[in-house]
Amino acid sequence: MESIEKLKKTPAWSVLAPLLALALVVAKLAHALDLDGPALKTLASALLIGAVFASVRHAQAVGAKIGEPYGALVLALAVTCIEAGLIVTLMIADPERNATLARDSLFAVVMIVLNGLIGACLVIGDLRYRRVEFRLEGTTGALVTLATLAVLTLALPNVTTTTPGPNFSPPQLVMIAGAAFGLYLVFVFVQSVRHPLDFLSEADAGLDHAHAPDRSALSWSRTLVNFALLSASLAAVVLLAKSLTPALEGVVFAAGLPAAVIGVCVATLVLLPEVISALFAATRNETQTSLNLAIGSALASIGLTIPVVTASSLLLGAPLTLGLDRLNTSLLLLTLFVSTVTLGIGRATLLQGAVHLTIFFVFLGFTVFP
């Protein structure tokens, strides 16, 4: 999270991006504008990305004021609103075609985080500082939680017998959604309240409370403004993405690409702010921060999106397929095994980073050419 001093200021772009995005959506709904033209599509895409960054920025400001563990939940809820909103919107638009969208996007989140992002952070850290170190206690705990959520939601549906195929029955869906949500809340409690030092680097863990940020520097009036802008940003992202999705689907299917590519696009959009933050942390030799951002974003994605998507599926009667096929299940298990080895000794080198990046590029290749 950014420093208190930076969060005291509200950049102009973080206000203009969501407001302009909402204005574009209103103009489209009023039939004053048509987003079919390439120029307006480009503008809408830029505003969409800007609104995503704005939502994270305002969520950080609100979270900094209310403190932990609620601050972490605000940011996680903001990211989840974006992802779940996109998935549910697409499920409503075409339930049959998008029955696997939640699975594809969540699997893409895991692969992007554990292979692409962590691999890139390890390579950057090794090339710049020759040695990458991190805390075992917090990192392994977060990885164990993510591995459990990923297997329960993406692999377990393939071996249940109540329903045919890679699907959970309604009672099973409710059970898994409850387990995912409960486990994520436990993780947030442990990270923010019970054992916060386990998630700090050795240097940061040695700081005393006198160095803690002064939350009183953020006024409640500014926090309310940030909350209003956060709400506007989330609404802009979901509504604008809904308008642009048919164009994205048209490009994907016209090119003969699998539907899973759409899931990768959704995951990339949702993770973009955290990816950039983690990479910048890696350039500053803050590997622990990079790992916290990476794994934490994946945990929030699964732990909070699954309950929302499950509730939507049951209420709307829309089909929901969560089980991976054999190819992607193999990639998931390989990823979890390699991640356990990489993050299990408290330090890593260029070689481990290269291994993770190799798996990531193989994942992208098989997504396009299954």
Structure confidence by residue, pLDDT tens digits, 269-283: 888 888 888 898 899
Percent of the chain with pLDDT over 90: 38
Nearest to 80 by CA among 177, 175, 3: 177
Q: For the residues 82-106, what does the mean pLDDT come to?
A: 84
Taking the C-alpha atoms of residue 222 and residue 213, their distance in angstroms, rounded to an integer, is 17
pLDDT of residue 215: 57
Q: For the residues 351-359, what does the mean pLDDT come to?
A: 96
3-state secondary structure the chain: CCCHHHHCCCCHHHHHHHHHHHHHHHHHHCCCCCCCCHHHHHHHHHHHHHHHHHHHHHHHHHHHHHCCCHHHHHHHHHHHHHHHHHHHHHHHHCCCCCCCHHHHHHHHHHHHHHHHHHHHHHHHHHHHHCCEECCHHHHHHHHHHHHHHHHHHHHHHHCCCCCCCCCCCHHHHHHHHHHHHHHHHHHHHHHHHHCHHHHCCHHHHCCCHHHCCCHHHCCHHHHHHHHHHHHHHHHHHHHHHHHHHHHHHHHHHHCCCCCHHHHHHHHHHHHHHHHHHHHHHHHCCCHHHHHHHHHHHHHHHHHHHHHHHHHHHHHHCCCCCCCCCHHHHHHHHHHHHHHHHHCCCCEECHHHHHHHHHHHHHHHHHHHCC
Please report where in the chains the tokens 């952070």 appear, as a residue. 121
Sign for the pseudo-dihedral over CA of 106, 299, 110, 321: negative
Percent of the chain with pLDDT over 70: 91
Question: pLDDT averaged over the chain?
Answer: 86
Taking the C-alpha atoms of residue 50 and residue 237, their distance in angstroms, rounded to an integer, is 9
Q: Which range, of 186-190, 215-219, 255-259, averages the lowest pLDDT?
A: 215-219
Taking the C-alpha atoms of residue 370 and residue 268, their distance in angstroms, rounded to an integer, is 19
Does the domain at residues 4-368 carry the CATH identifier 1.20.1420.30?
yes
> For 235-248, what is each residue's pLDDT tens digit?
888 788 777 877 78
pLDDT of residue 159: 92
Q: For the residues 49-72, what does the mean pLDDT come to?
A: 76
Confidence band, pLDDT 50/70/90 cuts, at residue 197? confident
pLDDT of residue 57: 83
> For 205-228, what is each residue's pLDDT tens digit?
555 444 455 555 567 788 888 888
Decide if 85 contacts 238 (C-beta within 8 A): yes
pLDDT at 41 over 90: no
pLDDT at 7 over 80: no
Nearest to 106 by CA among 243, 236, 289, 297: 297
pLDDT of residue 246: 77
pLDDT of residue 209: 47
Higher pLDDT, 270 or 339: 339
Q: Where are the domains of the chain?
A: 4-368
Q: For the residues 297-318, what does the mean pLDDT come to?
A: 90
Taking the C-alpha atoms of residue 312 and residue 306, their distance in angstroms, rounded to an integer, is 10
> For 145-173, what is each residue's pLDDT tens digit?
999 999 999 999 999 989 888 999 999 99
